[in-house]
Structure 1
């Protein structure tokens, strides 16, 4: 690998971390039951894998984030982190129980890949309202979805 390629890779990883690091770390921390050190290792490995497949990282911010989250989940599973038992249908059902304003905030933040400031501007709301709606929606989803069961533990 040339020095130029290595430098371009470092720039890509730094950009990915700047744009998505907080969301990836939050997700990895939830998957690892609050183990911040393990979550940081998961995010680091995710970014390395993303860099090695950098051709798939073109597109808008939401598409890139949609590509990164499954990598986080796969890395966590490889490291022995138990995965949540809720499937796509359970998740859709749980999201469907949320009030429309909370669903729209989650859509803006997680599916459109916007940060709080961008989501607030798009929705015509104060950033604090976006934060509180997101917090409440995620709290409700945690309550509605089955907890991850440790697998293979005797």
Structure 2
């Protein structure tokens, strides 16, 4: 059974006055009094939530720093002071858990980038690509056309057949002939 601590109206007003002093005058004494009141309660709340003592202490520190930095944002009409402070601590805990589960991801690095190939490998690939393009350009037009549709536009043979008005067997034969010729041309360029 969870124990609920009820703060008297006088105590609530005193704590709200401390936050007001922090917001208006950056009163360190008020912050020390507010910290002394809430730090043990926040730590207990974090421990009950499954945090280890070191993590609970870190969350309390971060939450109270946020209270110091954002004291002027507290609005008693929207929430009780304890609700506001405990919500800050809870959000700090969630942020910490998210960082532990997965490190921050740069949206520009959302997909792993392969390491760049060495210059000689890139040059060899560029040369091989140029040789292949030259070989394709030397193919008869009808073979070049079916290769373009089948491999570069990724169309099924049956679609190519309909588009070109050719029998399916003719499309397959032209692709087979084109690939055979390309193998021969590429073999000529191989060392």
User: What is the TM-score normalised by the length of structure 2?
Assistant: 0.34
Kindly name which structure, 1 or 2, has the bigger radius of gyration based on alpha carbons.
2
Higher RCO (C-alpha under 8 Å, 6+ residues apart)? 1
